[in-house]
Amino acid sequence: MAKEDKRNSKSKEGGLGTGLGGILTGLANLVENLAELAEKGQEVSKTGEILGGGPEKGVRGIYGFNVKFGLGGEQLRVEPFGNIRKDETSGQTVVQEIREPIIDIFEEKDFTLVLAEIPGIGLENVRLEIQDDLLTVHAEKGDKKYRKEVLLPRSYSREKMVVSCNNGILEIKCFA
């Protein structure tokens, strides 16, 4: 009972902003440092507790990261996704309206395959921009908004891309 009272008093004192803000700041800092730690071969784990209440209780934040490594000596990569970011000017952690989707890139024999997870989105809601080797994926339907810039292994033209979307999985085949 004493433990529960202590949690409730923290919730009343700081509201969701303090509890959620602390966790979001911790997660943002964690992702910033993961790439450096991965290069050194160190392990990291981070846990936290989100406290309820406060004026920000309608905030909907999505945050995560993928740790990727592959065959052929490819280095470990840490890629964040979601809509929680650290504001460059203020240093505060903020929940953005636009989410950053999970994206995977595979170099096949005849093409480069880009896969993006954009739940709730159909092909008619997707817009692609390509400039040299930089692909920008935009997708929007209702309150679901996604955007991500992807560095491709080489330059491609939009005319040589085949795009499909099925059950929220966007597939882009880039032919040379």
Question: Under 8 Å CB-to-CB from 11, ≥6 apart: which residues?
Answer: 19, 51, 52, 53, 54
Contact 149, 108 (CB under 8 A): no
Question: Under 8 Å CB-to-CB from 15, ≥6 apart: which residues?
Answer: 51, 53, 54, 55, 56
* Mean pLDDT of the 142-163 span: 93
Alpha-carbon distance 8 to 53, whole Å? 9
How far is the CA of 170 from the CAs of 44, 52, 94, in angstroms? 31, 35, 27
Provide the token pair at 10. Answer: 């923290």
* Mean pLDDT of the 81-101 span: 78
Where in the chain are all domains bearing CATH 2.60.40.790?
101-176
Considering the domain 101-176, what is its CATH architecture?
Answer: Sandwich (2.60)
pLDDT, the chain, mean: 74
Question: What pLDDT shows up at residue 51?
Answer: 36
Of the candidates 16, 68, 62, 24, which has an alpha carbon nearest to the alpha carbon of residue 46? 24
Residue 19's pLDDT band, with cuts at 50, 70 and 90, is low
Reported pTM = 0.60
Question: What pLDDT shows up at residue 2?
Answer: 45
The per-residue pLDDT for range 45-89, each reduced to its tens digit, is 443 333 334 455 555 676 676 666 554 555 666 666 767 777 788
Residue 11's pLDDT band, with cuts at 50, 70 and 90, is very low
